[in-house]
């Protein structure tokens, strides 16, 4: 049975796309990466295209919305209906029938609504976990404020019976300050979840061949384990 690995974050812009690409590299050619809802189409490189560029894997995108907002906000602004999370789950299950690994990258944080009915990535993860092995990776910042945001995200997952597979530091600066140095230790201490990967700031800008070659130096054996 295919493993479904879900990438969520404590916020937007924390490094979910780089993490998804790294998971795809580790999973190998049997993986597909999915973005259930992409907003801000046309403003920057879409997340799923960045994953395909960095990892060279197959990708799928379910819903595309023009404005750089939360998916349900962007949809309501334009009078667009987004399929419910249950429909996303059905499509992911169908992909899982023929793949070894399905990677799912969320939008923003865990409780950002992915549809116009109030469904979230947390709902999607809980739905899929009913009949598939699901691993959820929490991508977090390393600077000041991250402890609160990360504990809230981990607590929300546990409230639905989902134990995070690991924390990922999405953009570690070359010269970390006091907060960054302390939080490398504090994040696993306060959450009880290990840090399984730490990606340097700018990793997503590397040439694909360099990114793929270096993934192994940024992750532990528990990343995609």
Answer yes or no: 16 catalytic: no
Which residues are CB-neighbours of 21 under 8 A, at least 6 positions away?
33, 50, 51, 54, 55, 204, 211
Which residue out of 16, 35, 141, 212 is catalytically annotated?
35
Residue 68: count of CB within 10 angstroms of its CB: 13
Whole-number Å distance between alpha carbons of 218 and 178? 21
Q: Which residues are identified as catalytic?
A: 35
């Amino acid at each position: 049975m295919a493993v479904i690995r879900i990438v969520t974050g404590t916020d937007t812009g924390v490094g979910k796309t780089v993490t998804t690409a790294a998971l795809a590299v580790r999973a190998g050619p049997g993986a597909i990466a999915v973005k259930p809802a992409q907003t801000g189409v046309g403003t920057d490189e879409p997340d799923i295209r960045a994953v395909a560029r960095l990892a060279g894997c197959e990708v799928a995108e379910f819903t595309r919305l023009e404005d750089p907002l939360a998916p349900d906000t962007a949809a309501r602004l334009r009078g667009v209906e987004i399929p419910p999370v249950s429909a996303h789950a059905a499509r992911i299950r169908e992909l899982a029938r023929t793949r070894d690994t399905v990677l799912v990258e969320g939008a923003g944080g865990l409780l950002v609504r992915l549809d116009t009915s109030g469904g979230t990535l947390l709902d999607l993860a809980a739905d899929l976990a009913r009949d598939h092995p699901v691993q959820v990776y929490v991508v977090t910042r390393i600077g000041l404020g991250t402890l609160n945001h990360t504990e809230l995200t981990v607590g929300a997952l546990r409230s639905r019976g989902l134990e995070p597979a690991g924390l990922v530091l999405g953009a570690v600066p070359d010269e970390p300050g006091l907060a960054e140095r302390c939080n490398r230790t504090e994040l696993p201490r306060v959450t009880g979840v290990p840090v399984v990967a730490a990606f340097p700031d700018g990793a997503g800008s590397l040439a694909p061949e360099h990114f793929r070659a270096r993934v192994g130096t940024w992750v532990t054996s528990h990343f995609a384990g």
